[in-house]
Amino acid sequence: MSAIILAVVGMAVFFLGYKYYSKFVAERIYRLDPDYVTPAHKYKDGVDFVPTNKWVLWGHHFTSVAGAAPIVGPAIAIYWGWLPAFLWVVLGTVFAAGVHDFGALVLSVRNKGQSVGTLANKIIGQRAKILFLFIILILVLMVNAVFAWVISNLFINFPSAVLSVFIQIPLAIWIGYLVYKRSGNMLFPSIAALATMYVTAIIAARVPALQIDLPRYFGGAENTVAFGLDGVSMSFFVWIIVLMIYVYIASTLPVWKLLQPRDYINSHQLMVGLGILYLGLLFSNPEVTAPMMNTEATTPWFPLLFITIACGAISGFHGLVASGTSSKQLNKETDARFVGYFGAVGEGLLALIAIIAVATFFANPGAFTAAYDSFGTAGNIGLTTFIQGAGQLATGIFIPADIAATIVAVIVVSFAATTLDTSVRLMRYIISELGSEYKIKSLTKMHVATTIAVVSSAALVLLPRGPQGFGSGGYLLWPLFGTSNQLLAGITLLLITLWLKRQGRNYLITLIPMVFLMIMTLWAMGQQVFFQWSGLGDAEMNLLLFMLGAVIFVFAIWIMLEAVSALRKNNTNIPTDKDQSM
């Protein structure tokens, strides 16, 4: 079957979802009011609250939510065959992610632009706030550990991408200086920076001397270097230490110096990447060679699929962005449909092309099953396969496969590195907040909090022995990442449901995805925590995973109970439209 059919069917469903379903939700359920005075107008301050053109806001929203995660999840989940991943990405985006992102935006707009965390505090109570803080803390700890491994792995597999990624740092600092200190235009310098990065990538792909290939420097994979580590393990060790030092510096600098200008360069990369891949797909017309369903899969797809693909379909992180910044800048309430729902569709498109790139990479179904021989291997090779598959797609527009793969690797590493910076920074804020909550003054200091964040992340990567060998300790937590992210999405859906119920409207459109999401998450978690990691089944006991998993499992049950009790009583903490008009 041609992969173009997959893309067309996926896009058609996205289109219909946006055109009809989101319209129905906007008019009948959320009842958007073009005359409602949004917080952007009501609290306009020129800094946080600024009415913004809907296209501009959509661009901001989309680039904030799309990163490496919607690529990683689908690239692993294709282990079960392309059909389950495809269906969940397409239908999940339309019926769960769309209403979730859109709803978080509307809920926040109707509540003074407050974030989901604050609203949870108000609606469910103080317990919810602490719950929230801990879930986000575990989430970011896992993101740090997983992405440090992801980046190191890509550096080892694509040594030609290293130089470009490092060149991005001084370029970003230069753009930051240009823009903030001299109020210059950002577009042209950042495009020039991007061009420099890609030219470096192209040259490095062809000149081996410019490839920073650590395993080769250490005398190959077989050579034992020091502390009993072979060449590859030693390379992981070095890259992870380098990344941790970098991230310490990056997360303590003011955001405008490095983080934001880097984001700005990366936003172009998202557009460039999506453009290259979809155009390449159109011109090269590849065949789908991955099986529709992998009958040889030893790990069942149900319910694990729904936590493996976290950001490709619904993601709690989107709710944080929607209610954190986007809601404060919404010009008209009716724009929420375009910004929220269509933002989710944008992310769905990224996940869709990730599925297609992996599904068309192998020569035949046999090669696929040989490569993806277990769920653990899928976690190991998913991202690398995506990059090679994407490189193959790019040959459709006459870019040589090796150069294309290097450029895609640069794009993925840049996304992953920004996520890493942001999540270490977030972790620092949360540690400080917990410090002030429990009156431990030293924790509120920047360098103390950053040290704790960096050291605990490094320990998580290096200390436990992951399924992919040394340094992959964090990666083994990917299902947990999915779980906590889905939990967050569940809480947001719960808040929207409560709000709709209090208004006396039909709340099934958010209740059904919430119940589905919670059941899948709890089911998958329960299976892993109690039968896999506890040592009760055939598998060996894994104390770290068991403990972390058990904590999240308890949180999930707790939230379910809160949900049931909140749904049963009429919560008066949620303002309705009538309260606001008085």
438 SS3 class: coil
When the beta carbons of 174 and 217 are compared against another protein, the nearer one is: 174
When the beta carbons of 27 and 48 are compared against another protein, the nearer one is: 48
Q: Is 187 in the site for another protein (CB under 8 A)?
A: yes
Q: What is the DSSP letter of 540?
A: P
Q: Is 323 in the site for another protein (CB under 8 A)?
A: no
Q: Is 267 in the site for another protein (CB under 8 A)?
A: yes
Q: Both tokens of residue 391?
A: 């490189």
Distance CA 267, CA 446 (A): 29
When the beta carbons of 175 and 560 are compared against another protein, the nearer one is: 175
Q: What is the DSSP letter of 505?
A: -
Q: Is 63 in the site for another protein (CB under 8 A)?
A: yes
Calculate Rg over the CA atoms of the chain.
Answer: 23
Distance CA 83, CA 87 (A): 6
The least distance separating another protein from the CB of residue 420, rounded to whole angstroms, comes to: 18
Q: Is 64 in the site for another protein (CB under 8 A)?
A: yes
φ/ψ of 343, rounded to 5, equals -65, -40
When the beta carbons of 122 and 268 are compared against another protein, the nearer one is: 268
When the beta carbons of 421 and 562 are compared against another protein, the nearer one is: 421
Q: How open is the CA angle 26-27-29, to the nearest 5 degrees?
A: 70
Distance CA 210, CA 205 (A): 8
The least distance separating another protein from the CB of residue 6, rounded to whole angstroms, comes to: 28
Helix/strand/coil (H, E, C) string of 284-332?
A: HCCECCCCCCCCCCCCCCCCCHHHHCCCCCCCHHHHHHHHHCHHHHECC
When the beta carbons of 255 and 550 are compared against another protein, the nearer one is: 255
Binding span for another protein by CB under 8 A among 50-58, 198-206, 242-250, 445-453:
50-58
List Cβ<8 Å contacts ≥24 apart for 390-395.
Answer: 390/273, 390/276, 390/277, 390/353, 390/357, 392/284, 392/286, 392/357, 392/360, 392/361, 393/276, 393/277, 393/280, 393/281, 393/284, 393/286, 393/356, 393/357, 393/360, 394/276, 394/277, 394/280, 395/280, 395/284
Q: Is 60 in the site for another protein (CB under 8 A)?
A: yes
Kindly identify the residues of this chain, within the stretch 438-477, that bind another protein according to CB under 8 A.
none
Per CB under 8 A, the list member of 119, 123, 162, 179 interacting with another protein is 179
When the beta carbons of 190 and 235 are compared against another protein, the nearer one is: 190
Q: Is 302 in the site for another protein (CB under 8 A)?
A: no
Distance CA 477, CA 152 (A): 16
Q: Is 182 in the site for another protein (CB under 8 A)?
A: no
Per CB under 8 A, the list member of 255, 434, 443, 551 interacting with another protein is 255
Q: Is 186 in the site for another protein (CB under 8 A)?
A: yes
For residue 390, the surrounding DSSP H or E stretch is helix 375-394
Q: Is 178 in the site for another protein (CB under 8 A)?
A: no
Strand partners, 52: 330
The least distance separating another protein from the CB of residue 365, rounded to whole angstroms, comes to: 41
The least distance separating another protein from the CB of residue 271, rounded to whole angstroms, comes to: 8
Q: Is 56 in the site for another protein (CB under 8 A)?
A: yes
Q: How many residues bind another protein (CB under 8 A)?
A: 30
Contacts of 353 (CB under 8 A, 6+ apart): 7, 274, 277, 278, 281, 390
Q: Is 263 in the site for another protein (CB under 8 A)?
A: yes
Q: Is 370 in the site for another protein (CB under 8 A)?
A: no
Q: Is 48 in the site for another protein (CB under 8 A)?
A: yes
The least distance separating another protein from the CB of residue 506, rounded to whole angstroms, comes to: 33
Per CB under 8 A, the list member of 15, 20, 24, 55 interacting with another protein is 55
Where does this chain bind another protein (CB under 8 A)?
Answer: 46-48, 50, 52-53, 55-60, 63-64, 179-180, 185-187, 190, 255-256, 260-261, 263-264, 267-268, 325, 329
